[in-house]
Amino acid sequence: MAAANKAPIVIKKIKKGGGHGHHGGAWKVAYADFVTAMMAFFLLMWLINTTSPDQRRGIAEFFAPASVSRTSSGSGGLLQGTAFDDEGVKHNMSAPVTPPSDPHYTTNDRDAQNPDANTGEQSPAQDALDRARTIRENAQFSRAEAAIRQAMQDLPDVAELSRHIIMDQTPEGLRIQIIDQEGRSMFDRGSTQLNDRARLLLRTISGAIARLPNRLMISGHTDGAPAAGGGSNWELSAARANSARRQLESLGISGERIYQVAGKADSEPLFPDDPTLPGNRRIEITLMREAPPLPPGYQLAP
């Protein structure tokens, strides 16, 4: 009877911390964004305090977005209406480099005339300006390359010649190479006159070149075979480069933009393993960057 009246024992488990579970790490993301923003702010303040007004204006101009025209004007042309606004690229226009007339002119003479010349160490502001210029130039070169490819695809007569065009970006700028193919050359053997195929290709690429202010380097290259008629490959390549220059000028490219015309014979083969390949015969047109790179091993005077 005593066992029947005995109350059951109930064990109650209490969960602590109810309603206060883990809230995740979203606050860490917000905090990281805040710290990054503060770091960028103080970096900006430091740059403002260490740069001159002219440098600040230059940085602002180079970070300004380049504008691209989306209108259809000139849609019947080679670029099918794709054009670059002058406002978007005019800041990169640079004055032509005039080589000194005195062959004994050295960097020391230049530094003596300009005591404020660069001594080899750039300020952080100048580094930022250089990086901004490089980014802007790369974007412009990419758009020019895309415009040339699109123009070649849109024209049936040119599309089949696309294998003759090689484009890439180098430290010097945007390099456009017009190369020979087996059975399809840009010049007749031993000739310095562009044939119809070469003139058509130059006309195709000239539209994009004309819309950028960059200076141009033009060089001619031959293969390793001796020049026809007993001439020199140096003279032949130089004459072919000059022929390409004249053709570009006839297509509206200002002669003031021509920085250099050179004949390199077979000294820089595109296919070093086989100097006799037709692809070694080519014309190179380089849209130069604003500041030409220093040659290898060159050092500014201390």
* Dist CA 254 CA 211 (whole Å): 11
Give the per-residue pLDDT at 281. 95
What DSSP designation does 271 have? Answer: S
Q: With beta carbons less than 8 A apart as the criterion, state whether 286 and 172 touch.
A: yes
Phi, psi of 68 (to 5 degrees): -125, 130
* Dist CA 14 CA 143 (whole Å): 68
* Surface-to-core class of residue 55, CB atoms within 10 Å of its CB (0-12 exposed, 13-18 middle, 19+ buried): middle
Give the per-residue pLDDT at 215. 95
Give the per-residue pLDDT at 1. 52
* Dist CA 279 CA 70 (whole Å): 36
The tokens for 198 are: 């070469």
Coil, helix or strand for 185?
Answer: coil
Give the per-residue pLDDT at 25. 64
* Dist CA 244 CA 250 (whole Å): 10
* Dist CA 19 CA 39 (whole Å): 37
Helix axes 233-250, 196-210, angle to 10 degrees: 60
pTM: 0.57
Cβ atoms < 10 Å from Cβ of 284 = 22
Give the per-residue pLDDT at 134. 84
Query: In whole angstroms, what separates CA 3 from the centre of its chain?
Result: 96
Give the per-residue pLDDT at 192. 92
Q: List the one residue out of 41, 51, 45 whose CA is nearest residue 125.
A: 51
* Dist CA 33 CA 27 (whole Å): 10
Q: Domain segments of the chain: what residues?
A: 83-97+123-288
The correct CATH number of 83-97+123-288 out of 3.30.365.10, 3.90.1150.10, 3.40.50.720, 3.30.1330.60 is 3.30.1330.60
The tokens for 124 are: 């952080």
Alpha helices in the chain (DSSP H): 26-50, 53-63, 107-113, 124-154, 156-159, 196-210, 233-250
* Mean pLDDT, each 10-residue run in order, the chain (302 residues): 63 60 67 85 80 73 54 40 40 42 46 48 76 86 89 82 91 94 88 92 92 94 87 93 96 94 95 92 94 50 42
Q: CA-CA distances (angstroms) from residue 278 to 44, 60, 80, 283? A: 54, 47, 32, 12
* Dist CA 178 CA 175 (whole Å): 10
Q: With beta carbons less than 8 A apart as the criterion, state whether 189 and 195 touch.
A: no
What Rg value do the Cα atoms of the chain yield, rounded? Answer: 31
